[in-house]
Amino acid sequence: MWSWLCKHCGCRRCRLMMNKPHDELILGIETSCDETAAAVVRGGRDVLSNVVATQHELHERYAGVVPEIASRAHLQRIIPVVRDAVRDAGLEYGALDAIAVGNQPGLIGSLLVGVSAAKALAWSLGKSLIGIDHIQAHLYAGALNDEPIAYPALGLVVSGGHTSLFHVDGPLEFRLLGRTIDDAIGEAFDKAATILQLGYPGGPAVDALASTGDDNVYDLPVASLGRGSLDFSFSGLKTALLYAVCGQPAGRGSSATFQRDASVFTEKEKADFAASFQRAAVTAIMRKLHRAFEQTTVKTLLVGGGVSANSRLRAALQEFAGNHAVALRLPPMEFCVDNAAMIAGLAVHKLRAHDLADVSLSASPRSDAAA
Ligand code: KG4
Ligand code: ZN
């Protein structure tokens, strides 16, 4: 059957541009949490530069992101990070076609730094301004430096703030299938690292330690939430790990006291906890993914968010895609965690659809996509 799909990017909306070159230059800005990032992407695909300034050292002692510290650090870093991204791309500001910014969801004070910078740049340079949803951008990361994505797709976002499944009909066409009813999976990994005294950010530390552990030593729970549910829950897993490591508490809530902490265990024992936790967390994701896959007909599996850097999850996803003959878009590590290339890449589809913002663009802690 004849189709209107653009041969350059697979997009349905830019069909009028089919014979024009797809080489729009977009500067993306991302400040939703604790990474200050800017990148230039050409034609929604070629990443010309990708600069990320992390703030991990600032938040480490608090074992989590402190919003006020994050927004102050964004303020200090945003101008040099943007300047580096434009310079690394070998461009002058005047060559850009548009400025895109992640304006939701995230920490409001952090988002506002990026949004203000993007507005100022777009206004002073006379360029188009584009607001981008961070969650949707995570599911576009697999298109960077690669062939256009074949839709429809099943989208899995696994990050520090979100754990969601979507039916995706195009770069900007999303239908929510399921999401976490409590903690996000990345949050659970970070809390597991705190319980095991592994430092911050916890996900990579749990991943590394788990590789030396036995994942069958502890039988930690995998939440199901009833037949047919595509929602997730990680708070029971987190609490089960806490009690397994620290023992049953005396008292309740913030006044609870525990019998011990992770320091009484050997490195090998801690590795067994990490591996058992990781097995349960990844099993929870894969079960829901499998269930969603059975309920839909898709050509591609899109995965994004920081936890897609997890080695066990990556292996499970690759095995799943192989067994079910579905194309898997699992971004390289640099595009899994928060970055601005995914913002600039997705933005080209809004530019082509003339879905532009103006100086009234605001930031929001919530995502429309995950609503
Ligand atoms: O997408 P992201 O960079 O930021 C948010 O949008 O939240 O995700 C950050 C999360 C953190 O919770 C971090 O611990 C987790 O991704 N993470 C990992 C790994 N690398 C990062 N979790 C498990 N295994 C990893 N290798
Ligand atoms: Zn993210």
Q: Which residues is 287 bridged to in the sheet?
A: none
The answer to whether position 166 is within a domain reads yes
Predicted confidence at residue 8, as pLDDT, reads 52
Distance, in Å, from the CA atom of 278 to the CA atom of 234, rounded to the nearest integer, reads 12
**Do 320 and 341 have their domain in common?**
no
E strands present in 68-172: 98-104, 128-133, 153-158, 163-170
The answer to whether position 214 is within a domain reads yes
Distance, in Å, from the CA atom of 57 to the CA atom of 258, rounded to the nearest integer, reads 29
**Do 137 and 164 have their domain in common?**
no
pLDDT tens-digit profile of 76-102? 999 999 999 999 999 999 999 999 999
**Do 265 and 222 have their domain in common?**
yes
Distance, in Å, from the CA atom of 306 to the CA atom of 186, rounded to the nearest integer, reads 7
The answer to whether position 361 is within a domain reads no
Going by their DSSP bridges, the two strands 25-30 and 35-42 should be labelled as antiparallel
List own/partner pairs for 70-77 with CB under 8 A and 24 or more apart: 70/33, 70/34, 70/107, 70/109, 70/110, 71/107, 71/109, 71/110, 71/112, 71/113, 73/34, 73/36, 74/31, 74/36, 74/110, 74/113, 74/114, 75/113, 77/36, 77/53
Ligand 1 in reach of 106 Cβ (< 6 A):
no
Residue 190 is which amino acid?
Answer: D
Among candidates 152, 156, 158, which has minimal Cα distance to 171? 152
User: Which DSSP symbol is given to 205?
Assistant: H
Q: What percent of the chain has pLDDT over 90?
A: 79
Which band of pLDDT confidence, cut at 50, 70 and 90, is reported for residue 227?
Answer: confident
**Do 122 and 19 have their domain in common?**
yes
Which DSSP string corresponds to 290-303? Answer: HHHHHHS--SEEEE
**Do 71 and 163 have their domain in common?**
no
Is residue 16 helix, strand or coil? helix
**Do 326 and 340 have their domain in common?**
no
Q: Do the Cβ atoms of 229 and 180 come closer than 8 Å?
A: no
Q: Which ligand number lies closest to the CA of residue 187?
A: 1
**Do 179 and 127 have their domain in common?**
no
Least confident of 195-199, 273-277, 280-284, 319-323: 195-199
**Do 215 and 342 have their domain in common?**
no
**Do 226 and 189 have their domain in common?**
yes
The answer to whether position 368 is within a domain reads no
Predicted confidence at residue 3, as pLDDT, reads 46
What average pLDDT does this structure show over 154-178?
95
What average pLDDT does this structure show over 10-28?
67
Give the CA distances from residue 181 to residues 80, 100, 161, 189, 236, in Å, rounded to whole numbers and listed in that order. 38, 30, 12, 16, 11
Domain containing residue 322: 153-330
Residues 6+ apart with CB under 8 A from 12: 4, 5, 6, 170
Least confident of 128-142, 176-190, 248-262, 322-336: 248-262
The answer to whether position 369 is within a domain reads no
Q: Which residues is 49 bridged to in the sheet?
A: 40
pLDDT tens-digit profile of 185-218? 999 999 999 999 998 779 999 999 999 999 999 9
Give one word for 150, left, alpha or beta, with left for phi > 0 and alpha for psi -120 to 50. beta
Nearest atom (ligand 1) to Cα of 186 = 12
In the predicted structure, residue 2 carries a pLDDT above the cut 90:
no
Q: Do the Cβ atoms of 272 and 212 come closer than 8 Å?
A: no
In the predicted structure, residue 21 carries a pLDDT above the cut 70:
no
Distance, in Å, from the CA atom of 163 to the CA atom of 148, rounded to the nearest integer, reads 24
In the predicted structure, residue 9 carries a pLDDT above the cut 60:
no
Predicted confidence at residue 34, as pLDDT, reads 83
CATH number at residue 45: 3.30.420.40
Q: What is the mean pLDDT of the chain?
A: 91
The answer to whether position 176 is within a domain reads yes
**Do 206 and 314 have their domain in common?**
yes
The answer to whether position 229 is within a domain reads yes
**Do 159 and 213 have their domain in common?**
yes
In the predicted structure, residue 19 carries a pLDDT above the cut 70:
no
Ligand 1 in reach of 218 Cβ (< 6 A):
no
Is the pTM higher than 0.85? The answer reads yes
The answer to whether position 5 is within a domain reads no
Q: How many structural domains comprise the chain? A: 2
What average pLDDT does this structure show over 52-74?
80
In the predicted structure, residue 304 carries a pLDDT above the cut 50:
yes
Predicted confidence at residue 1, as pLDDT, reads 39
Ligand 1 in reach of 207 Cβ (< 6 A):
yes
**Do 48 and 184 have their domain in common?**
no
Q: Which of 139, 307, 334, 343 to mutate to test the pocket of ligand 1 (most atoms within 8 A of CB)?
A: 307
Ligand 1 in reach of 202 Cβ (< 6 A):
yes
Total Cβ atoms within 10 A of residue 151: 19
